[in-house]
Amino acid sequence: MMPFALWFVAGVLIVALTIYVLTGGADYGGGVWDLCAAGPRAQAQRDLIAHAIGPVWEADHVWLILVVVILFDGFPPAFARIMTAMHVPITLMLIGVVLRGSAFSFRSYGLGQDRARREWGRVFSIASLITPILLGIIIGAIASGRIPANPHVLRDFVTPWLTPFCFGVGVFTLAIFAYLAATYATVEAGAVGDPALADDFRRRAIGAALAVGVIAGVVLTLSIHGAPLIWNGLTHRGWTWPIFWLTTIFALAALWALWTRRFALARICAAGQVALILWGWALAQFPYLLEPDLTIFNAAAPVRTLDILALALAAGALLLLPSYRYLLIVFKRDRRAAVAVATPPPRD
């Protein structure tokens, strides 16, 4: 019999990952649109993204740290194995994380001339483009069931993730992040009362939505050989079709809402769609953390550790969720006045 704490910890793990993708992922997507800013309102697009990300990105980023901590506290053998075999892509991803975060803060608080800030903006946006691909590659490798138990030969450090399927998941992740960011940005632009800007992001969101659909098809096809566990899970389990149809409904609803400029609704539908994609993956892989031998049961920490971790997570949530909500309310409810930025008043 599985203890309740294990369900709880595993549940929080997937919920934290979901929130990270929906918030932190969109912050990365914002960087992508910073890179792709174009047209007469290019600067306005960049500013909107900077103001949307500025107050929240560090808090959003902590969800990733929470995922890592839960993994090594609750499932230490799985953590050790992923960190060993995925050393190369994780290292590359970390470089992206460092450059994205520092460059963004240098640009925001740098007080510099425009040129230096533009350079930092470029570092920020390129790092925002590459990091999600690497994150996706890591997730793809975990899903593919190819992470070896004892990687003692050189080729084992590259072969698990150097596959078409993993790169497919990498590009898919990038497309999802960009889609979320563009969809959220339509709401942000509407809130600052700029319909032309909202329309810029509406077009981007629709384009990204279609890309997500196409890439999803490609990744699914690649999974037949690239991740048989996921393919079988998605096609041979009872709950699969309801999830599949639900995801499709959310996707179509998001597209329709974007088309008809119901941006608030589109934001909810897009977030729901992405959450369902993640849960579909998690359910397809259940109960494996790492195929073929590590499940959430046999990789779990001892019961006492799980009990205390579950308690800590519950207590932490009591502290955290109201604060996080407060943050989002302060900066996301009424964006009209949010142009007041962190930089000090000009000195003269």
Q: Judged by CB under 8 A, which of 81, 202, 204, 267 binds another protein?
A: 81
Task: Restricting to residues 174-213, name those near another protein by CB under 8 A.
Answer: none
| 338 lies in the binding site for another protein (CB under 8 A) | yes
Q: How far is the CB of 185 from another protein (least distance, A)?
A: 18
Q: Judged by CB under 8 A, which of 2, 111, 196, 264 binds another protein?
A: 111
Binding mask 15-54 for another protein (x = CB under 8 A): ---------------------------------------x
Task: Restricting to residues 274-303, name those near another protein by CB under 8 A.
Answer: 301-302
Q: Judged by CB under 8 A, which of 42, 149, 196, 330 binds another protein?
A: 330
Q: How far is the CB of 111 from another protein (least distance, A)?
A: 6
Q: How far is the CB of 129 from another protein (least distance, A)?
A: 17
**Both tokens assigned to 7:** 């369900």
Nearer to another protein (CB atom), residue 114 or residue 348 = 348
Residue 251 has φ and ψ, to the nearest 5°, of: -65, -45
| 112 lies in the binding site for another protein (CB under 8 A) | yes
Binding mask 145-174 for another protein (x = CB under 8 A): ------xx-x--x-----------------
If we measure between CA atoms, which residue out of 174, 204, 183 comes closest to residue 38?
Answer: 204
Cα angle 69-52-339, degrees, rounded to a multiple of 5 = 140
Q: How far is the CB of 112 from another protein (least distance, A)?
A: 7
Nearer to another protein (CB atom), residue 58 or residue 194 = 58
| Segment contacting another protein by CB under 8 A, of 24-32, 246-254, 281-289, 333-341 | 333-341
Four-residue CA torsion sign, 335, 336, 337, 341: positive
d(CA 314, CA 319): 9
Go through 253-267 and write b for each residue having 16 or more CB atoms within 10 A of its CB, e for each that does not.
bbbebbeeebbebbb
| 1 lies in the binding site for another protein (CB under 8 A) | no
| Segment contacting another protein by CB under 8 A, of 66-74, 169-177, 178-186, 234-242 | 66-74
Q: Judged by CB under 8 A, which of 79, 184, 279, 281 binds another protein?
A: 79
Q: How far is the CB of 119 from another protein (least distance, A)?
A: 11
Residue 295 has φ and ψ, to the nearest 5°, of: -110, 170
If we measure between CA atoms, which residue out of 222, 221, 229 comes closest to residue 284?
Answer: 229
Contact predicate 254/179, CB 8 Å: no
Contact predicate 183/254, CB 8 Å: yes
Q: Is 343 left (phi over 0), alpha (psi -120 to 50) or beta?
A: beta
Q: How many CA atoms lie within 13 A of 127 on its CB side?
A: 20
Q: How far is the CB of 275 from another protein (least distance, A)?
A: 20
| Residue 144, CA distances (Å) to 72, 166, 213, 227, 288 in order | 21, 8, 21, 4, 11
Q: How far is the CB of 4 from another protein (least distance, A)?
A: 17
